[in-house]
Structure 1
């Protein structure tokens, strides 16, 4: 009996080994010419290969066995792993490269893992370009506790990080809409949304069957998942699962049939993000430099292999053997690798410079990334650019924003490279060209020879356009899926405002940080007019003040969706309780404050009448009759939100903004407020309190706006005051009679 007992103990011990699968391929062309010669997982981020960040995060999370699936340029990944510290005898984590050149998607990679029977227990599924300082092991423990408790059918836990719309590391292609079961963290609905999406079709059964739901559009996918051992098998059984998103959607659709469930874990106080394109590359690099990723910062994690990095004021990091000439200036958020030399008069800010680079005299570098062995000669200007290893920028060259120079490119001298240009060191070849002339057609061979000569001449002309001594050829991005166009691919190469966004830094004061957070929130929520180029300090002559500077911020997408929801609720005769539920879901989906909901509801009631009659918002008397009916019909719903003196003031200000936007309605503001007063949504006291308010600084924009609206409402207030006086006189007369 003893040997059997020993064997069981060995099995239990073996099952306790925490495993991870790293997908070291992106399966897309987001980095254009850069990843033609090196896989994304090995691209340097702040002078450290991306794969090293991922493996270090797994090791600190207690992972003991890692399988790295190597696809595109897999030999380079395998060679990097062989030379890494994880191959040392004392390494706490075993890292094994799994070669599979035929994999074209994550689904193929997991099917390859399943065919080799490598997974024995719950495991972590992660991309090879992740930077994270969170404890993924804790998520594994929660997943195991869940599967061993009430939710044994849970097959995957997805990790998300809180990131409001507009966050610099959140890309358009990663916008998503989630519904979570509040008490269990179970994922009920998942949908990737486009940036211009205004409507999200949510199955009604989710809203009807679940009392406690949480709606999210404030999350960013960390591309980290904790999976049950059945996940690779499910990929094998379903060949239409090409991505993790396909898997998630498939599980949610077949949940009632298969019984499998998916849960989510939300990261709030730690860092986790994926380098998916140049926008996120830039954003995460800034986060590393500004020390949001501790302990993975240049002076701690970057100091290895005998190289020491010194941390200085304003987030300036320099290796020990850097040569800085007199007169050069490293301003802020700068990392300089070992062996690099910087000339006199050179100005550098928000840059990462690799090893053994040579920067000449009077050079300006801003918000750019220079990898190893890059040479930038005198009098050059580089703004928001990526220069891969071996690039040479000759004298008097200007690189405009968004330029990418791939490996060993040479440009210059005396040229300007246009914004967004991507160059490579050899001509781009069409992978689908058919150059097979085996049929022996002499004319065809002759024609092909002529084409080749013409191509060589065009290539020589193209190279000369980038400088007399250049070695550079234009790269045209490929479209990597059916639902993308070239414009989308190009836009994803670089962030929209990478160089002019002033992000928070560790040395900034708390007040400055709060101001920037308010600015970013304003951008996310939208301004007075999303299509207007009007500046906040521009005064409207018809108003006497600047409307954009003093009106409540409004999320135009949320407002339009609110109007559509109320119109649909009216048409489909949805009960008030269900309509309130949908409005609350919109509030959470667009992360708008409750004051914005309150201010928008009366306005939406007016626009509902216009929408139902296919009319524009005008001063047409028919629309006012409809507004009165709508207010009377939905007075109980409005009173759920506009329920005290404070919220009534917000509603009045919302109507004020509404008439400012729609100039025809300005004389009708008293009538609009009166309809709400008659329906007992607004009280006389609140109207008079708003009218008599003097909390604004005299002469300020807000005070001018308030005075303008007071003049409009004056007739209503006068009527209310007269009615109150008459009522008081009647009461006095009654008292006298008694």
Structure 2
């Protein structure tokens, strides 16, 4: 809050200082292994740290007070702020808030609420956002709504008019937005996962994810609503102070979009309202993965983010000049006569481009050496990189002090972290991620929403991700890891008799870290629970083998199947309370049914795992009834699953046919219930007459 006027006087109002909270920690590891050694917000984007773009944007929008929240690499962020003069800036007051224990955006905002430093409406923005948006119209509209309706607690900034290809280019997930076309009030916000290949049962799951359901009550109080799929959320929010309080009151809010926005929209009875401010001619984008790093870099080079272009020289240490073809070159670059710098490129101060070298659609940092005959296409070189003669780098990221020896090649999608040296003639394959620092998780694990942490220990290892893979394929690669972690958490609960509430807390933390859903936890718990009815799979850790039965019932006999059903029913009864905590909707229950199909057919996540799921295929219908009897699956969810499966190909209806006796029983029971209700109603009418 600004200090009161020194002139004093009756009737004078004090003006609230416009403040902002900048999240200088992404709480993700999408840019690992690079972020093991340097915080994401300090990675240069066209030779300027991402955080500087965010702070410069806040400065031109007259923000007076900025709270920068830092978790991982806090010392590095504070050192950067000091070196760039932000801590002593005349543009606004900067306060650094450090909390090294936070694991999510939700926890960071709860820390800010506890510190009680924000008293009025504020801007919430990620420290890796690049924007030239004029904030004043959106802020004025938000404050006007607040003046007449205090329940208008947030305005989300979104870019509109984007094609599906443009959205994919930015590395964003397709989103469906339902809003009032006049007021911009948001009614529904749903991210749609893109389907990838996989087991046959995935077809039903992908079909269901493409389905979009609108509640008819949306049309009861308004003439029209807009359903949009051309919008991308920009991670810029204009918030009322109540937003922080809601995060404090709801500890399951860990993410703004997926938890807070969805939670507020689903609790309409509380009266809180969210609004959308759409950008058409202005720019705003978040750098949240390698794909968006490339896309936003190209947009900066193409001057879509003006005035934040290299030739405006945000840092006093640079002297970039703009040349034809969107080429930017510092005045201290040494460019050989026979060297060629082509379109959409930027060359930093002190760099040397030797004879015969070609730099095309690439960014070269400060003090780099590009040797004779080198070819750079779509490459990103940070500072002090040295390429010897004849090196080829294509669509790859090379961090500080990387050395690539003569004749070597770095292929598309590769990431070479700090101080890596590539030997003469060696070829770094597509999608390889090479680091001198030990990965804190198993190689190949690259969850999009694990916590970003600084590196701990040096070693020589690397991790790779297939070049050109889609986000859905990456999610499929990560799926088995999450499945195993959920399963082992449940087995530890069984072994140590841990209280259900503590298991829920632990699994919820795992869910948040891996950006999964409650249904994901429930489906993997269910199959692990059923597995206890049979001998331990070969992949089971030795410490949990004692929890499994030592012999399997004879699946070929009626007695054996009865015994298997009895074992399964006992497990379901024992753990139903825990399962019910994670099944929060009919859609969640349908997800569990689809997973049960995978388990019983040894497909998808259960292919070649050594689990004995196909044994349960013989009692699939009876298993459904057991889950129904224990109130784990509702009649509505089972019939919804059946209706969706009825639209599938014939070879995908195997378990639908197996479940037909139980489905017929359900439908008959429903008809009998409806009939008896009608008869009772008639009897009542006759008595009244």
Q: TM-score, normalised by structure 2?
A: 0.62
Tell me the equivalent position of 1:158.
156
1:245-324 equivalences under 5 Å are 245=257, 246-256=259-269, 258-302=270-314, 304-324=315-335
**Alignment partners' CA distance in 2, 1:48 and 1:325:** 25
Which residue matches 2:80?
80
| 1:228 and 2:216 aligned | no
Q: Distance in 2 between matches of 1:337 and 1:355?
A: 4
Alpha-carbon contact 1:63-1:137 (below 8 Å) kept = no
Give a deviation string over 1:286-341, Cα, whole Å, max 9, x none: 00001111100111134x32421111111111111111112111111110000000
- Whether the 8 Å CA contact 2:171–2:291 is kept in 1: the answer is no
Greater C-alpha Rg: 1
Q: Which runs of 5+ in 2 are unaligned?
A: 196-208, 444-456, 466-470, 480-644, 651-689
Matched-pair contact (CA < 8 Å) for 1:311–1:318: yes
| Shift in alpha-carbon separation, 1:332–1:10, aligned structure 2, 3 A | farther
User: How many pairs align?
Assistant: 451
Q: 1:77-113: per-residue Cα shift (whole Å, max 9, x none)?
A: 1111122233336x12111110011111111111111
Counting only pairs closer than 5 Å after superposition, residues 557-636 of structure 1 correspond to structure 2 as none
Deviations 1:104-158 (A, max 9, x none): 1111111111111011110000000010001123211110011112x33100000
Displacement after TM superposition at 1:27 (Å): 0.8
Q: Alpha carbons of 1:4 and 1:170: their partners in 2 closer, same or farther (altered >3 Å)?
A: closer
Cα distance between partner residues in 2 of 1:315 and 1:289 = 6
In structure 2, relative to structure 1, the CA distance for the partners of 1:325 and 1:171 (3 Å cut) is closer
Of 407, 415, 440 in structure 2, the residue corresponding to residue 404 of structure 1 is 415
Match of residue 191 from structure 2:
192
Q: Is the 8 A contact 1:158 1:265 kept in 2?
A: yes
Q: Distance in 2 between matches of 1:613 and 1:99?
A: 53
* TM-align CA RMSD: 3.0
Q: Which moved more, 1:10-19 or 1:323-332?
A: 10-19
Aligned residue for 1:291, secondary structure, equals: coil
- Tell me, yes or no, if structure 1 residue 428 matches structure 2 residue 439: yes
Question: Residue 36 in 1 paired to residue 21 in 2?
Answer: no
Taking a change above 3 Å as real, the CA distance of residues 16 and 348 of structure 1, as seen in their structure-2 partners, is: same
Separation in structure 1 between the aligned mates of residue 473 and residue 31 of structure 2, nearest angstrom: 16
d(CA) in 2 for partners of 1:179, 1:21: 27
Q: Distance in 2 between matches of 1:390 and 1:489?
A: 31
- Judging changes above 3 Å, is the alpha-carbon distance between structure 1 residues 397 and 488 closer, same or farther for their aligned structure 2 residues? farther
Larger relative contact order (CA 8 Å, sep ≥ 6): 2
CA distance in 2, matches of 1:48, 1:171: 19
CA distance 1:12–1:181, shift in 2 (3 Å): farther
Task: Check if 1:334 corresponds to 2:333.
Answer: no
Q: Residue 494 of structure 2 aligns with which residue?
A: none
Per the alignment, residue 391 of structure 1 pairs with 402
Give TM-score, length-normalised by structure 1. 0.58
- 2-side partners of 1:420 and 1:363: how far apart? 20
Matched with 1:708 is none
CA contact (8 A) 1:174 1:221 kept: no
Cα deviation, 1:614-668, whole Å, max 9, x if unaligned, reads 999xxxxxxxxxxxxxxxxxxxxxxxxxxxxxxxxxxxxxxxxxxxxxxxxxxxx
**Cα distance in structure 1, aligned partners of 2:271 and 2:180:** 16
- Are the equivalent residues in 2 in contact too, given 1:67–1:97 (CA < 8 A)? yes
Q: For the Cα contact (< 8 Å) 1:336–1:354, is it kept in 2?
A: yes
What secondary structure does 1:210 align onto? coil
TM-aligned CA distance change 1:83 to 1:132, over 3 Å: same
Aligned partners of 2:11 and 2:154: how far apart in 1?
24
Task: Check if 1:146 corresponds to 2:145.
Answer: yes
2:122 corresponds to 1:123: yes
The alpha carbon displacement at 1:428 in A equals 3.4
| SS of the residue 1:390 aligns to | coil
The residue aligned with 2:95 is 96
- Within the candidate set 366, 379, 385, 1:355 is matched to 366
Q: Where does residue 206 of structure 1 map in the other structure?
A: 218
Q: Relative to 1, partners in 2 of residues 1:403 and 1:170: Cα closer, same or farther, differing over 3 Å?
A: closer
Corresponding residue for residue 557 of structure 2: none
Trace 1:334-733 onto structure 2 (pairs within 5 A).
334-428=345-439, 430=441, 473-475=461-463, 486-487=474-475
